[in-house]
Amino acid sequence: MPRNVIRFLKLFLIFIYLTLPVTLAFDDMFVVDRNEWLFSIIILFLLIITIQVRNQIVLTFLSLILSVPICINAAQAASYVLQGSSFNYQFFAHLDLSSLKLAWIAERPRLLSAILYIILAPLIVFIALKTDFRGKKQLFSKYYKQGVFACIMLSLYATYNAPLALLFHFYTSSKVSSERILTTIETFSKFDDKVTAGNNKNLELIYLEGLEQNYLDEDLFPKLLPRLQELRKSAVSFTNIKQYPGTSWTIAGLVSSQCAVPLLSNQGGNSVLKKADNPFSKVNCLAEHLKVIGYNTLFVGGASLDFAGKGRFLADNGFDQVLGYDELPSTLSHSWGLYDQKLFSHVERLFGALAAQDRPFLLSTLTLDTHHPTGHPSPNCPKFGTGDSSMLNAVHCTDKLIGEFVSNVRMSSVGENTVIVLVSDHLAMPKGVVDRLSVKDRRLLFMIIDPSSELAGEYDFEASHFDIAPTILSFLGINNVEFAFGHSLMRNEQGKVVQNGLTQTDFDAFRIEHLVNRF
C-alpha cells in the first residue's frame, strides 16, 4: 500500500479516535458546548500529528502526558451519556470502587469499551508523535520550533478545552475541607436528647428510586401510576419539593431527607461516608430522634449496603438494624440488587414482626427497579402500554407493588396507627424518559398517608429534601426538635432554605460556611 495512503489512514483513524467522545455525547449536549469541545479536540489533533519526536524517552513521556486530556474527554463523554450534563458533583460522587463494581455488573460492555478506549490513548499518541506525516520534517526540522509550536497549541488547548476548564472549575470551587464542613455544621445543628414523646404512631417510610412527581402527571404519562393516583386522594401531598445540590443521588437523598443537611464534601460523595468516621455523629437525624423515644428502627433495601457507605451511614444515625442485598439472599435479582417484588416480600414479613412487638417502629425501605438508565421491572409484572419502554414498565410495576403493600399495611392490625410516607430519593436520572419528564418543572414526590389526619390534599409549599424529616416528625406528634436546613411544612408554608433566602446558586458553591451564615 502506498505510503501516502497509509499516512492518510493514520490521520483519519487518529481523528476518529479523538472525536469519538464528542460523537457519543452528541445528542446530550448544547450546541455551544459541543462546538467548544470539538474545537479543543481539533487543537489536540493538530498538536499530536504535527510534533515529531525521535527520542524514545521523550516520546514515551509525551505519549503519557498527552493521554491525560484524552482520558478527560472520555470522562466528559461518560458524564453526558450517564446524566445528560458535564462534570458536576454528582458525577464525581460516583467515581468510587463500589460504584465501579456495580457498573461492571450492570454495564459491562460499555465499561469494557471505555477501559479499552483509555488503554489505547498512549498507543495512539505514541504512533502520532512518531509518524513522519507529510511536511512535518520540513515545517519543524528544529526542536525549538517544535517547542514553540507545542507551547502555542497547548496554550490554545488549555484555553479552549471545555472538559479541562470544567474539571478545573469543579475542584477550585470546592475549597473547604470535609473536616471544616462538618465542624461548621455541628456548631448550629443541636442534638436534643430530650425529645418529647409523640403519639407513638408507627412510621413506614418508603424511598422511591428516581420516581418523581411528574410521573403522576396524566398529561405526560396517562394511567402510568393508577395506584399512586388513588393513594394521593387520601394523602397529604407536597407538590413543590425542589432538589438542591448535594441531594441529587441516592445516598445524598437519604442524608438530606434524614438529617436535613446536604452531602457536601471535597471527596466524592459516594466515598466520604466510607472514609469518614461517622461524619454526622453530632447532626440530628430522623431515626435517631425516634430511637431516643423508644422506637424500633429498621431499614431494608435491595442493593448492597456497601455501596456509597449507605449501610454505615444508616447504622451510625439511628437504625437498629440495616438489611441489604447480602443480608437478604435471593436468586430473584438484577444487576443493581433485588427486584422490588422480592424486596417487598421481605418488607411485609418484617413489618408483621415489628407490628407484633409492643413498641412503635420505623420501617424504611428503598425501591430499586426504577434505577436508571433503563429500569428493571420485576418478573410477571404487567407492562405499560405497548411495553416498549423498560423504564416505564419498571415504574408501572413499582406502582403495582407499592399499591399492594400499602393496602396490606392499612388492613393490618396496626394499620390505623401507622403513618406511611412515600418520597423520591432524588429526581430521575438520564437516560430513561427524562426528556418527557423535563417538559414540565420537575419536583420530588412527597406523600404522607395518615389514617387519622383530616388534612388530605395537595400543598404547593416550596421546599426541599431538608424539610422532609421534620415534616414527618410532625405527623408523629414531635415538634420540639431543631434541624439544620429544614423545618416542618405543617408549621411553615415554605421550606427553611426558601424562607431564609437561599438559592440553588448558594448550594452550587459547596461552601457550607456561606450557607450557615445565612441563618
Q: Secondary structure of 149-168 in the HEC alphabet? A: HHHHHHHHHHHHCHHHHHHH
- The one-letter code for the residue type at 214 is N
Say what the pTM is. Answer: 0.79
Residues 162 and 224 in one domain: no
* 351 falls within a domain: yes
Is the bond preceding 279 in cis, omega lying within 30 degrees of 0?
Answer: no
**pLDDT in the model for residue 261:** 86
* 268 falls within a domain: yes
Measured between alpha carbons, how far is 500 from 124 in angstroms, rounded to an integer? 54
- Residue 232, pLDDT > 80, answer yes
- Which triple of cell numbers denotes residue 197? 414523646
Minimal CA–CA distance to 400: which of 438, 344, 361?
A: 344
What rounded mean pLDDT belongs to the chain? Answer: 82
Residues 264 and 394 in one domain: yes
Residues 149 and 228 in one domain: no
Residue 351 belongs to a domain with what CATH number? 3.40.720.10
The residue behind cell 461524619 is: 279
Beta strands in 292-442 (DSSP E): 296-301, 321-323, 333-334, 337-338, 361-366, 418-424
Instruction: Give the 3-state secondary structure of residue 510.
Output: coil
What is the average per-residue pLDDT within 62-69? 86
- Residue 356, pLDDT > 90, answer yes
Minimal CA–CA distance to 170: which of 90, 62, 82, 286?
A: 90
- Residue 490, pLDDT > 90, answer yes
**pLDDT in the model for residue 140:** 45
Residues 374 and 306 in one domain: yes
* Domain end point (choices 143, 172, 201): 172
Residues 368 and 490 in one domain: yes
- Residue 177, pLDDT > 60, answer no
Residues 129 and 7 in one domain: yes
* Domain end point (choices 154, 172, 190): 172
Between 480 and 469, residue with greater pLDDT: 469
Residues 353 and 501 in one domain: yes
Q: How many CA atoms lie within 13 A of 310 on its CB side?
A: 25
Q: How many CA atoms lie within 13 A of 338 on its CB side?
A: 25
- The one-letter code for the residue type at 475 is F
- Residue 280 has φ and ψ, to the nearest 5°, of -105, 30
* 262 falls within a domain: yes
Residues 248 and 166 in one domain: no
Residue range 125-145, pLDDT digits in tens: 888 888 877 554 444 445 555
Residues 65 and 165 in one domain: yes
* 114 falls within a domain: yes
Query: Which range scores top for mean pLDDT: 99-103, 237-241, 377-381, 498-502?
Result: 237-241
Q: pLDDT band at residue 519, thresholds of 50, 70 and 90?
A: very low
Residue range 285-300, pLDDT digits in tens: 999 999 999 999 999 9
Q: pLDDT band at residue 182, thresholds of 50, 70 and 90?
A: low
Task: Check if the beta carbon of residue 446 is closer than 8 Å to that of residue 423.
Answer: yes
Query: Which range scores top for mean pLDDT: 70-79, 95-104, 186-195, 332-341?
Result: 332-341
Residues 12 and 140 in one domain: yes
- Residue 196, pLDDT > 80, answer no
DSSP H or E segment with residue 203 = strand 202-208
Q: pLDDT band at residue 269, thresholds of 50, 70 and 90?
A: very low
Minimal CA–CA distance to 496: which of 509, 510, 482?
A: 482
Domain extent, residue 103, equals: 3-172
The residue behind cell 519543524 is: 140
Enumerate residues 6+ apart whose C-beta is below 8 A from 257. 207, 247, 286, 423, 425, 465, 466, 468, 469
Between 216 and 512, residue with greater pLDDT: 216
**pLDDT in the model for residue 75:** 84
* 446 falls within a domain: no
* Domain end point (choices 122, 151, 172): 172
* 442 falls within a domain: no
What is the average per-residue pLDDT within 382-407? 96
Where do runs of H (alpha helix) occur along 26-142?
Answer: 31-50, 56-83, 89-93, 97-106, 108-130, 136-139
Between 6 and 146, residue with greater pLDDT: 6
Instruction: Give the 3-state secondary structure of residue 74.
Output: helix
Instruction: Give the 3-state secondary structure of residue 240.
Output: strand
- Which triple of cell numbers denotes residue 420? 406511611
Where do runs of H (alpha helix) occur along 412-490?
Answer: 434-437, 468-475
Query: How many domains does the chain fold into?
Result: 2
**pLDDT in the model for residue 156:** 61
* 265 falls within a domain: yes
Minimal CA–CA distance to 96: which of 244, 249, 245?
A: 249
* 178 falls within a domain: no
Residues 240 and 385 in one domain: yes
Task: Check if the beta carbon of residue 250 is closer than 8 Å to that of residue 426.
Answer: yes
Residues 61 and 149 in one domain: yes
Distances (CA, A) of 272 to 177, 209, 212, 378: 12, 21, 26, 32
Overall residue count recorded for the chain in this entry: 519
